[in-house]
Amino acid sequence: MGLPPAKSAYVAVSASKMWDEKTHSNADQWHGYRFYNQKQIPGKEHLAQLVNTSANHLGFEHGRRACPERFFAANGVKIILVYVLLKYEWKLPEGATPKPRAFWLPWLRIR
Burial class (CB in 10 A: 0-12, 13-18, 19+), 60: buried
Q: Are strands 10-11 and 108-109 parallel, antiparallel or unpaired?
A: antiparallel
Say if residues 77 and 51 touch (Cβ distance below 8 Å).
no
User: Within a domain: residue 96?
Assistant: no
User: Within a domain: residue 3?
Assistant: no
CA 28, CA 102: separation in Å to the nearest integer? 10
Number of domains comprising the chain: 1
pLDDT, position 79: 95
* Nearest alpha carbon to residue 59 among 105, 101, 6: 105
User: Within a domain: residue 34?
Assistant: yes
pLDDT, position 104: 55
User: Within a domain: residue 41?
Assistant: yes
* Predicted TM-score of the model (pTM): 0.54
User: Within a domain: residue 98?
Assistant: no
Range of the domain at 70: 10-90+105-109
User: Within a domain: residue 2?
Assistant: no
Q: Which segments of the chain have a pLDDT < 50?
A: 111
User: Within a domain: residue 59?
Assistant: yes
User: Within a domain: residue 73?
Assistant: yes
